[in-house]
Structure 1
């Protein structure tokens, strides 16, 4: 009986811990590599500015280099509406938790640059006005300021 109760408690505890898994992993990676965390709130299948953000910035080579050069850890908190694009329940819960913490007004797109402790360094409400190169340069500059 004790084994069953222990097993149930472990499962319940791990479910609660899983809600912030991506952010906690990102914080750990950011701390180890002196990176920043880019957290993007999007509606990938209904929010036109979100779709433009991903197409014109996130999916570009300039942005990809931020990740490969260990400048940022990227998290996309997506809130799709179409049934065919629905996320797993774990990811939905995690995205909702991230929104509660960082996006209580429910803005889309809403992009945050965080330090390795999860503190907000910079915010972009809506579609950034910069092109991918300027957006990436701004993040590089902010990351360099953080490591001084």
Structure 2
């Protein structure tokens, strides 16, 4: 009986932990399909994940927090557009990220753009809603800025 009880507690813990995990898309077309289906904007996170100190700080202080995870599940579709120095990427991902960096005029990291996207005649049209980056003050301060951007649409 004790083993069954421990198994049930362990299983509930695993399910709860998985429920807190977010899906970060790396394929923007896949993310667009989800966003359009769920009627949610994209959160495009332009990052240098393995070298950018402010990107790593934003990840730790905001993007990995419980508050952000709860907010993101309801509000946005997450897209990570990474520009690493040591982590290998496919040529297709590198090309996609380069094109999006140019399309959104990203010149520094971290940059977070909120956008909607539609595909028409094989071309993707983005509507930028606004952008931000690292915001001091943890998840509360960052989410205040993000909600301000999203509430303008």
Aligned residues: 121
Higher strand proportion, which one? 2
Residues 130 and 26 of structure 1: CA distance in aligned 2, closer, same or farther (over 3 Å): farther
User: Can you list the C-alpha shifts for 1:81-116, whole angstroms capped at 9, x where unaligned?
Assistant: 12xx22222211211121121135x31111111134
> What TM-score, normalized to structure 1?
0.69
Gaps of 5+ in 1: 1-20
> Corresponding residue for 2:60?
55
> Corresponding residue for 1:33?
38
User: Can you list the C-alpha shifts for 1:37-96, whole angstroms capped at 9, x where unaligned?
Assistant: 110111111111111011111111122123322x101111111112xx222222112111
SS in 1 for 2:27: helix
| Segment drifting more, 129-138 vs 32-41 | 129-138
Residues 1:128 and 2:125 aligned together: no
Residues 102 and 145 of structure 1: CA distance in aligned 2, closer, same or farther (over 3 Å): closer
Gaps of 5+ in 2: 1-25, 119-125
From 98, 106, 119, the counterpart of 2:127: 119
Alignment RMSD (CA, Å): 2.3
> What TM-score, normalized to structure 2?
0.67
Residues 1:75 and 2:67 aligned together: no
Bigger RCO of structures 1 and 2 (CA < 8 A, at least 6 apart): 1
Distance (Å, rounded) in 2 between the aligned partners of 1:22 and 1:139: 22
